[in-house]
Chains A and B, each alone.
Chain A
């Protein structure tokens, strides 16, 4: 075990995958110089240990031009003909340039061609919300892609999850999109350096509780955990569950976690309308209505564009304060003074 940052865990998973299978390649903008910290060693020179370009060469580590449509489409075509690409698309907001390739090629080819194709490709991107980057860099687009059958989507919140899930994603013969919350990139955790896989579609219980369940996604997960710890001081026992994968969703895990308490809050940094929270809420209501003691509450980013100014941005995303408020509301408890003040 060693302490790894989230970014370090991504890099570790990529290195494992590259070593395990020669068909794995990494393409994307700026991957050769390790600009984002996932394709290189810790040192400052090319010769430093762990540098991907030195380890794997220019055939398998390739800087791309800024051409999202062909980056995504060529990765799909390559995946259909024997390669297993990991594609670094940098910022999640850039995915839209390639929407046709994602929706009409990546997601559909296996199905449309009657199973002749498989699509073993992973698309990585990071959501830079909460970091004063403004509207064009702060998107959380995973709900749009959840609505496209044929894709798989993972949103690990912790380094250990990122390492195990990304490794499974590369080994999967289906296309997987990984959305990383940039605010989590620097977080650290004890992680096993040896190879391990976390299967897609399996969530993780972060806190066990009996009063209210919080199901949280991506950057909202550590906020939910922090809220649970504050609420514990107030005598409120909160179960926190992170699905870790959005498609396929660990519905069993979500239902089990919710049925434990009968009260559900879903925290999701995506915009409210058609968020992952919306899908989770609807599914829970459909499946275990009789177990519910209160309506389901969503804590999401409002349907508003993201402003640049630090005075404006941070208030918009789910926080430990807003999640705790929602939990108290589920129990009919008035908000604590701290929650009101923050």
Chain B
């Protein structure tokens, strides 16, 4: 076991977990009031798993994620205002209103994008690991995915490629034990962490994913290994989502039994870590109350920023498909020129074409 992180690091962990919690609680309310269009998938209950992993990474290390998205960029240190504005679809959103909750990305903190397609972003993180290796950058990449995604083929293609090329990637399975309404054990053969051995890499299962330091420890080991050029690792973290799969979703069937829910609700990662911080003498009650108040103020500020931000102009729906959009067509002008009997006008692009290779 490694030594505990420094006090300021631990306090930052609590801060980021609180940010995720208060942000997602607020987002949930805003969905119910119709202030956020569509829905969101909260990370409430999973904060230790997200933050323990994110804080084992450096600010510029890469990360990709999934529909349960908000916690990932928040855990990586992204500012809350542009994230909240993105959920509402404002022009000041981190993706200019183009992505929404399912497609958050903040490249400034290495967040390469959350994907609405389960498993789809795992190869992206793998590729970020490839570029770090080829370009000789001291960076690693972490792919967040759930127990549901753990059965997507692209995870195994990615692990195989990362393993054989020794790419600096951490495959982090957020096992909250349910893929929407489906219990993981009913659709998963074997133990997810055990699959790593088949690909020649370490596989670790963190049984108590509600303990932020346990998660931090396991991911730090994987990050160290990756940075040393020894290749990828698989880390499976067992956790639980306290809310429904998505906010506003009401399923007729109660697919999670009450006893199980009660057992996990009693393991609130933020409450647990608060107790731990006090036990270690890292902070006092007053300091931690102050921290909570600061985070609430941050979330309030994010909402104020969002409310005061404009929506994007409709014309911006046509921006950023390409880095260089095709030149506007002069079709009508060309036809008009011909009708007036002028010399056949070349299209402007053709005028620029190299004559080399032209036939005859």
Binding stretch for chain A, among B107-115, B223-231, B240-248, B300-308: B107-115
Check A300 for interface membership: any CB of B closer than 8 A: no
Binding stretch for chain B, among A68-76, A133-141, A301-309, A333-341: A68-76
Check B127 for interface membership: any CB of A closer than 8 A: yes
Measured CB to CB, the closest approach of chain B to A150, in angstroms, equals 5
Q: Mark A55-72, 1 if CB is under 8 A from B, else 0.
A: 000011010110101111
Measured CB to CB, the closest approach of chain A to B132, in angstroms, equals 7
Contact B357 A164 (CB under 8 A): yes
- Within 8 Å CB of B259, what residues of A? none
Check A235 for interface membership: any CB of B closer than 8 A: no
Contact B112 A80 (CB under 8 A): yes
Contact A192 B357 (CB under 8 A): yes
Question: Smallest CB-CB separation from B141: which chain A residue?
Answer: A77
- Within 8 Å CB of B346, what residues of A? 256
Q: Mark B91-125, 1 if CB is under 8 A from A, else 0.
A: 00111111100010111000011011100111111
- Which one of B105, B126, B134 lies within 8 Å of A116 (CB-CB)? B105
Contact B121 A78 (CB under 8 A): no
Check B154 for interface membership: any CB of A closer than 8 A: yes
- Within 8 Å CB of A64, what residues of B? 161
Q: Mark A225-266, 1 if CB is under 8 A from B, else 0.
A: 100000000000000000000001011110110011000000
Check A211 for interface membership: any CB of B closer than 8 A: no
Known pairs A161-B357, A206-B359; A23 contacts B126 (CB<8 A): no
- Within 8 Å CB of B330, what residues of A? 252
Contact A199 B349 (CB under 8 A): yes
Check B251 for interface membership: any CB of A closer than 8 A: no
Known pairs A113-B103, A287-B331; A81 contacts B349 (CB<8 A): no
- The A-contacting residues of B in range 156-213, CB under 8 angstroms, are 157-158, 160-161, 164-165
Known pairs A70-B157, A203-B350, A206-B359; A111 contacts B98 (CB<8 A): yes
Question: Smallest CB-CB separation from B161: which chain A residue?
Answer: A70
- Which one of B97, B322, B334, B352 lies within 8 Å of A202 (CB-CB)? B352
- Within 8 Å CB of A23, what residues of B? 135
Check B10 for interface membership: any CB of A closer than 8 A: no
Contact B160 A67 (CB under 8 A): yes
Check B323 for interface membership: any CB of A closer than 8 A: yes
Compute how far the CA of A74 lies from the CA of B322 in the bound complex, rounded to whole angstroms: 20
Contact B324 A172 (CB under 8 A): yes
Q: Which of A160, A164, A256, A287 has its CB near the most chain B CB atoms (within 10 A)?
A: A256
Q: How many A residues touch the partner, as a band?
A: 35 or more
Compute how far the CA of A75 lies from the CA of B158 in the bound complex, rounded to whole angstroms: 12
Check A285 for interface membership: any CB of B closer than 8 A: no
Question: Smallest CB-CB separation from A191: which chain B residue?
Answer: B357
Contact A109 B113 (CB under 8 A): yes
Check A96 for interface membership: any CB of B closer than 8 A: no
Contact B331 A80 (CB under 8 A): no
Compute how far the CA of A69 lies from the CA of B126 in the bound complex, rounded to whole angstroms: 11
- Which one of B160, B324, B334 lies within 8 Å of A255 (CB-CB)? B334
Compute how far the CA of A207 lies from the CA of B350 in the bound complex, rounded to whole angstroms: 15
Compute how far the CA of A278 lies from the CA of B332 in the bound complex, rounded to whole angstroms: 21
Q: Mark A147-187, 1 if CB is under 8 A from B, else 0.
A: 00110100000111101100000001110000000000000
Contact A252 B354 (CB under 8 A): no
- Which one of A100, A114, A174, A248 lies within 8 Å of B95 (CB-CB)? A114
- Within 8 Å CB of B334, what residues of A? 252, 255-256, 259
Check B329 for interface membership: any CB of A closer than 8 A: yes
- Within 8 Å CB of B8, what residues of A? none
Contact B347 A114 (CB under 8 A): no
Contact B320 A81 (CB under 8 A): no
Q: Mark A92-126, 1 if CB is under 8 A from B, else 0.
A: 00000000110011000111111111100000000
- The B-contacting residues of A in range 187-240, CB under 8 angstroms, are 189-192, 196-199, 201-204, 206-207, 225
- Which one of A70, A78, A174, A199 lies within 8 Å of B128 (CB-CB)? A78
Question: Smallest CB-CB separation from A194: which chain B residue?
Answer: B356
16 more A-B residue pairs beyond the given contacts A74-B158, A112-B95, with a C-beta to C-beta distance below 8 A: A69-B123, A70-B161, A73-B123, A76-B124, A77-B124, A78-B131, A82-B135, A114-B99, A189-B357, A198-B353, A201-B326, A204-B353, A248-B326, A252-B329, A252-B347, A259-B338
Sorted nearest first, the 10 A-B pairs with minimum C-beta distance are A73-B123, A77-B127, A160-B357, A114-B96, A252-B347, A74-B127, A248-B326, A77-B124, A114-B95, A70-B157
A sample of 26 inter-chain contacts (CB < 8 A) reads A59-B134, A62-B165, A69-B153, A70-B161, A72-B123, A76-B124, A77-B64, A77-B112, A77-B127, A77-B128, A101-B154, A113-B95, A114-B99, A116-B107, A150-B321, A152-B322, A164-B357, A197-B354, A199-B349, A199-B353, A225-B359, A248-B326, A251-B331, A253-B350, A256-B344, A259-B338
Q: Which residues of B does A touch, CB under 8 Å?
A: 62, 64, 93-99, 103, 105-107, 112-113, 115-117, 120-135, 137, 141, 153-154, 157-158, 160-161, 164-165, 319-324, 326-327, 329-332, 334-335, 338, 344-350, 352-354, 356-360
